[in-house]
């Protein structure tokens, strides 16, 4: 198979392999594209929770981005865990040197078990300086609440919050409804001229670790290949749903999803 596009992933490492940069690389690869990476932090974790977070020096994050992406030019960028204001500053400096238009930001804040992956000062800085410079942001309900100050209890609140984010200067937003206690899952997509609610079946499983990372990487990949941002969201949601449905049930806590759901292995490698 010919490689379709190149994606630069800027995110944290998850040693359990289900979320973070591991989920991102698996997603980009399983959807037929090439992944290059800049690691922002190393988390030590398993399916039961995060044991520790080790920060990579901000300048080294910038160096990873520039040194690799100046050589192999990405078609799109996916940004995940950015834990401090200085890290965000260095990422912004790097982006201004690369001139890549397609950027998807997953405003990662808290891991599944509740561990904080970003500090307060960084959230304020991200809201002011980063969310309006990317193509799309993909907050979940708690992240959308923090970014907007709106308490989100239902679909109408999600739409209200999405509008507020657009008024902040965000180009496209996809608020993911998985955290609401609803029978089906509604994800709200909005920009200045378009609005769409993607409704999915809710799967009864604890194995949803890394769904946010996976979705934003999938959207970045489809977007990089020429799909519209809305279509890329639709296809990304489809990929994640299929990955949840076929999850391998690994570990004793919140297990990973099946990133390989899109892959067929040639007979000659069996």
> Which residues are catalytic, by number?
176, 208, 210-213
Rounded CA-CA distance 72/55 in Å is 25
Taking CB atoms, the residue at the shortest distance from ligand PXL is 20
Please state whether 30 falls in left (phi above 0), alpha (psi between -120 and 50) or beta: alpha
CA 125 and chain centroid, separation: 19
Residue closer to ligand PXL (CB basis): 32 or 113? 113
Residues binding ligand PXL (CB under 6 A):
11-14, 19-20, 43, 45, 80-81, 108, 111-112, 117, 210, 212-213
* Smallest distance, ligand PXL to C-beta of residue 264, A: 27
* Smallest distance, ligand PXL to C-beta of residue 95, A: 19
DSSP reduced 3-state for 260: helix
User: Do 260 and 52 contact (CB within 8 A), yes or no?
Assistant: no
* Smallest distance, ligand PXL to C-beta of residue 251, A: 13
Type and span of the H or E element at 213: helix 211-224
Type and span of the H or E element at 237: helix 229-245
* Smallest distance, ligand PXL to C-beta of residue 43, A: 5
Alpha-helical segments (H) within 70-210: 85-98, 120-129, 141-148, 155-167
């Amino acid at each position: 198979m010919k490689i379709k596009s190149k994606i630069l992933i800027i995110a944290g490492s998850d040693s359990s392999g289900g979320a973070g940069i591991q989920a991102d690389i698996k997603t980009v690869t399983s959807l037929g594209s090439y992944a290059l990476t800049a690691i922002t932090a190393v988390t030590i974790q398993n399916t039961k929770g995060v044991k520790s977070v080790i920060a990579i020096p901000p300048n080294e994050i910038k160096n990873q981005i520039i040194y690799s992406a100046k050589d192999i030019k990405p078609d799109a960028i996916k940004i995940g865990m950015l834990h401090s204001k200085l890290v965000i500053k260095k990422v912004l400096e790097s982006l201004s040197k690369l001139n890549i238009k397609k950027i998807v930001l997953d405003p990662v804040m808290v891991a599944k078990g509740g561990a904080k992956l970003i500090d307060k000062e960084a959230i304020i800085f991200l809201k002011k300086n980063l969310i309006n410079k990317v193509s799309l942001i993909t907050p979940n309900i708690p992240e959308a609440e923090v970014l907007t100050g709106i308490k989100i209890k239902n679909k109408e609140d999600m739409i209200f919050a999405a509008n507020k984010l657009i008024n902040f200067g965000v180009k496209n937003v996809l608020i993911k409804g998985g955290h609401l206690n609803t029978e089906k899952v509604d994800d709200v997509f909005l920009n200045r001229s378009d609005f769409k609610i993607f409704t999915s079946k809710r799967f009864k499983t604890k194995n949803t670790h890394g769904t946010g990372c996976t979705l934003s990487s999938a959207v970045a990949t489809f977007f990089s290949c020429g799909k519209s941002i809305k279509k890329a969201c639709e296809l990304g949601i489809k990929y994640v749903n299929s990955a949840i449905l076929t999850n391998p049930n690994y570990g004793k806590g919140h297990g990973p999803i099946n990133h390989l759901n899109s892959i067929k292995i040639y007979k000659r490698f069996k």
